[in-house]
A and B are shown apart, each in its own frame.
Chain A
Amino acid sequence: MRKPIAALAVAAALAVGAVDAQAQDRLVIAGRDAAFGTALARMVEAYQQRNPSVRIERLELPGGPLYERIALNARERARALDVVMLDDIWAPEFMANNWLADLDRLGGVPGTFVKSADAVSRNPVGTGPRFAAPMVGNVAMFAYRADLLAKHGLQAPRSWTEVAAVARTIQEREPGVAGVAFRGIRGNPIVTGFLPILGAFGGEIIDSQGRAALDSPAALAALEQFLALRPLAPRGVETWNATEVREAMEQGRIAMSAEFWPGWAGTLDDASRSRVVGNVNLVSPPGQTRGPAPMLGAWMLGVAADSPNAARALDFIRFVVSAENQKRIAIETGNPPTLAALYADADLVRQFRWYPAQLQALENAVARPRIAQWNRVEAILGEHLQMALVGQAQPREALAEANREIQRAIAR
């Protein structure tokens, strides 16, 4: 009787082991689409070649749906995702809700990342354990056509008032070229386009006491300045997102872009795509009553807290953020790296001449408010900003309504 029981126990142990082994051989990665998607796809291909026995499934989603997928998976404890790609603005919510695994406890991720991106991948910010590894070193830059400004004897603008003046001059003198562009579509894009102006005017969305702070003279002045750029932008800018801004710059249809992310700049000097090779400068955004405060827009990789394949997921993340692969991603897809040393890499600087300026901006970059409700706050502000942009609301009215709704969202 003992033998059969022992045999059964061995069989059960083997079965459990087999199931476990099977689970370890699977990896579900939820990531972004577009340029980030291409970078992630290349990494999946490379990792698959190195680990042919692993079954990898990659979900490619735009920003909004990606957030929803990750959040729903975590709330339902669905155990359906292993590696998740996240915007740094989602990090406070994800980390506060314990939706991400502690990477230090899993074994850690080696590498010296740029300071600002490293800080937001930890909880508490900058000092706590690592819950994500920075993958894309994005920081909001300002782009201008150096050739056009030189042609008309104009200096690079140092304030947002000067941006409007330069844009007006170029619009008058250069047929077919709009003065300035920004992302006008509601939600994250318009908010991201507006924040460098808000910061330059000394405005805040959330004050140091954690209260909604948009109902202020500084915010009103910033919004009025933002709206003053609209007649200097191409028609339909209200529906523009990253693709439109990037293509308009590459095709020489705009003279300046209020925000230009390094992730969009990979092909600016590629003659097969760009008509402005060597003519676009990327610099820190202008200031106004305050100096420029470039905005951080890092994208990170984390392991879902309920991942059944956490060890494999961590191995994949280490692979992606290694120096070798960060360099490869930059060269092949133009995505900016997050390892500080790569900004001094001769091959990369030769290909992306703005890297030294970008590293400086990245090191000084300011992260958006680290609050768990940021996703909702941003959606509220994005809706009201666009209502002001299309004339559905007066600037003061839009800010007051946004402030009321944001306060409610924070207090919830």
Chain B
Amino acid sequence: MRALNRPWLLLVLLAPAAALFLLLTVYPLARVFLLSFAASDHGFEGARFVGLENYAELLQGRSFRRAAWNTAFFALVATVAEVLVGLGLALLLDRAFAFRRALTLVVLAPYVLSTIVVAAIWRAWFHYDVGFLNNTLRALGLDGVPWLFDPNIALLSIALADVWQNAPFCFLILYAGLRSVPPELYEAARIDGAGAWLRFRDITLPLLLPYLFVAALMRTLDAFKLFDKVYAMTGGGPGNATETLSMHVHRLAFRFFDIGLASAAAVAMILVAGTLGAAYAVQLLRSEAR
């Protein structure tokens, strides 16, 4: 509090963080923004100003539109599923029963694995001929599913792997939220004759709302950046059915070295992610104000 009374001290204390922020965030962002108006295959050296041509090319090309759609679809499906599964797990493991701790460890295990390992595991499980999932289906007398090579379900298959890996993260947040609800509230509701559903609807859900928002925000932003899982499982295919914006930017920048176009795509991506983040933040602040 004393520092607040001495502006110079505040400046001195904040200066290192501000310098790092300017150097590592603002400068690269500004550079990307400027390059998005240029035709460049490297950086500013040899770049030619082309105005909005890169943005027009992006909108004209089917690949960018498809990548944007894939990204939004994946972020929505994966986030909703992960929050719901995380909530289910939190409600389940908040009760006392035998082997609860062991089950908690099992539930958390996928979250500690690296994404590339998760992708390798699921790629093997999804294999059409010898994969664990299709072997199980065939053992039950069902047909195998073309998990990764049917363009209609490939992205959903990747979302399934993502839910397996990241639902435990939502579980952790929501479990912490559940533990913070005062037990007296449930006790009083029980005395008033409220059943399990009413207790969940009128006590648990409203008090968990900020935690749900945080979990959803963090998962949405993370899902929006999806790259490595797709890269390792499908490479963006079949066709362009699983190519995300991150992959598209990477391909433009490091396969084609079309840095101007890649910068324009990155700017578009930042704008969408920023808008999403802001919308969540507003909702979060509103729910806290209530």
B61→A387 contact, CB < 8 A: no
Interface membership of B62, Cβ < 8 A: yes
Interface membership of B257, Cβ < 8 A: yes
Residues of A contacting B129 with CB < 8 Å? 234-236
Q: CB < 8 Å: which of B39, B146, B148, B239 contacts A387?
A: B239
Residues of B contacting A185 with CB < 8 Å? 235, 237
Q: CB < 8 Å: which of A67, A376, A386, A408 contacts B237?
A: A386
A239→B238 contact, CB < 8 A: yes
Contact status of A239 and B237, CB under 8 A, knowing A75-B42, A379-B251, A391-B151 = yes
Residues of B contacting A387 with CB < 8 Å? 239-240
B146→A235 contact, CB < 8 A: yes
B255→A379 contact, CB < 8 A: yes
Interface membership of A9, Cβ < 8 A: no
In angstroms, Cα B255 to Cα A393, docked, is 24
Within 8 A of A (CB), among B199-253: 234-241, 251
Residues of B contacting A409 with CB < 8 Å? 256
Interface membership of B258, Cβ < 8 A: yes
A383→B235 contact, CB < 8 A: no
A386→B238 contact, CB < 8 A: yes
Residues of B contacting A389 with CB < 8 Å? 238-239
B255→A376 contact, CB < 8 A: yes
Contact status of A238 and B255, CB under 8 A, knowing A75-B42, A392-B151, A401-B62 = no
B235→A186 contact, CB < 8 A: yes
Give min CB distance, B66 to chain A, whole Å: 9
In angstroms, Cα B195 to Cα A95, docked, is 76
A238→B238 contact, CB < 8 A: yes
Interface membership of B186, Cβ < 8 A: no
A72→B239 contact, CB < 8 A: no
Interface of A is mostly: helix
Interface membership of A277, Cβ < 8 A: no
B149→A71 contact, CB < 8 A: no
Minimal Cβ-Cβ distance residue in B for A390: B238
Interface membership of A269, Cβ < 8 A: no
Minimal Cβ-Cβ distance residue in B for A385: B239
In angstroms, Cα B206 to Cα A129, docked, is 75
In angstroms, Cα B126 to Cα A236, docked, is 11
Q: CB < 8 Å: which of A186, A234, A405 contacts B238?
A: A186
Interface membership of B63, Cβ < 8 A: yes
Contact status of A412 and B128, CB under 8 A, knowing A75-B42, A379-B251, A387-B240 = no
A-B CB pair tally, cutoff 8 Å = 73
In angstroms, Cα B240 to Cα A398, docked, is 12
A235→B151 contact, CB < 8 A: no
The interface centre, meaning the residue of A239, A383, A386, A389 with most chain B CB atoms within 10 A of its CB, is A239
Minimal Cβ-Cβ distance residue in B for A383: B240
B256→A383 contact, CB < 8 A: no
Task: Give the number of residues in B that approach A within 8 Å (Cβ atoms).
Answer: 27
Interface membership of B132, Cβ < 8 A: no
Contact status of A239 and B148, CB under 8 A, knowing A390-B241, A392-B240 = yes
Residues of B contacting A235 with CB < 8 Å? 128-129, 146, 149
Minimal Cβ-Cβ distance residue in B for A234: B129
Minimal Cβ-Cβ distance residue in A for B128: A236
Residues of B contacting A392 with CB < 8 Å? 151, 238-241
The interface centre, meaning the residue of B148, B149, B151, B241 with most chain A CB atoms within 10 A of its CB, is B149
In angstroms, Cα B236 to Cα A27, docked, is 35
Residues of A contacting B150 with CB < 8 Å? 390
The interface centre, meaning the residue of B61, B238, B241 with most chain A CB atoms within 10 A of its CB, is B238
Contact status of A71 and B239, CB under 8 A, knowing A390-B151, A412-B39 = no
Residues of B contacting A405 with CB < 8 Å? 61
Minimal Cβ-Cβ distance residue in A for B150: A390
Interface membership of A68, Cβ < 8 A: yes
Give min CB distance, B137 to chain A, whole Å: 14
Minimal Cβ-Cβ distance residue in A for B251: A379
Interface membership of A407, Cβ < 8 A: no
Minimal Cβ-Cβ distance residue in B for A391: B151
In angstroms, Cα B38 to Cα A412, docked, is 12
A75→B257 contact, CB < 8 A: yes
Within 8 A of B (CB), among A172-191: 185-187
Within 8 A of B (CB), among A351-404: 375-376, 379, 383, 386-387, 389-393, 401
B241→A375 contact, CB < 8 A: no
A239→B39 contact, CB < 8 A: no
Interface membership of A64, Cβ < 8 A: yes
In angstroms, Cα B149 to Cα A236, docked, is 6
Q: CB < 8 Å: which of B239, B251, B256, B257 contacts A386?
A: B239
Residues of B contacting A408 with CB < 8 Å? 57
Within 8 A of B (CB), among A17-52: none
Residues of A contacting B128 with CB < 8 Å? 235-236
Residues of A contacting B62 with CB < 8 Å? 401
Q: CB < 8 Å: which of B61, B149, B251, B256 contacts A239?
A: B149
In angstroms, Cα B241 to Cα A205, docked, is 24
Give min CB distance, A92 to chain B, whole Å: 14
Give min CB distance, A180 to chain B, whole Å: 17
Minimal Cβ-Cβ distance residue in B for A71: B257
Interface membership of B21, Cβ < 8 A: no
Interface membership of B254, Cβ < 8 A: yes
Can you spell out 21 A-B residue pairs with CB atoms less than 8 angstroms apart?
Answer: A75-B42, A186-B235, A235-B129, A236-B128, A236-B129, A236-B148, A236-B149, A239-B148, A239-B238, A375-B255, A376-B258, A379-B251, A379-B256, A386-B237, A389-B239, A390-B149, A390-B237, A390-B238, A392-B151, A392-B239, A409-B256
Residues of A within 8 A of B (CB): 64, 67-68, 71-72, 75, 185-187, 234-236, 238-239, 375-376, 379, 383, 386-387, 389-393, 401, 405, 408-409, 412
Residues of B within 8 A of A (CB): 39, 42, 57, 61-63, 128-129, 146, 148-151, 234-241, 251, 254-258
Contacts A239-B234, A376-B256 known; list 19 others, CB within 8 Å: A71-B254, A71-B257, A186-B236, A186-B237, A186-B238, A186-B239, A235-B149, A236-B128, A238-B149, A239-B148, A239-B238, A376-B255, A379-B251, A386-B239, A387-B240, A389-B239, A390-B151, A409-B256, A412-B258
5 closest Cβ contacts across the A-B interface? A387-B239, A392-B239, A236-B128, A390-B238, A238-B149
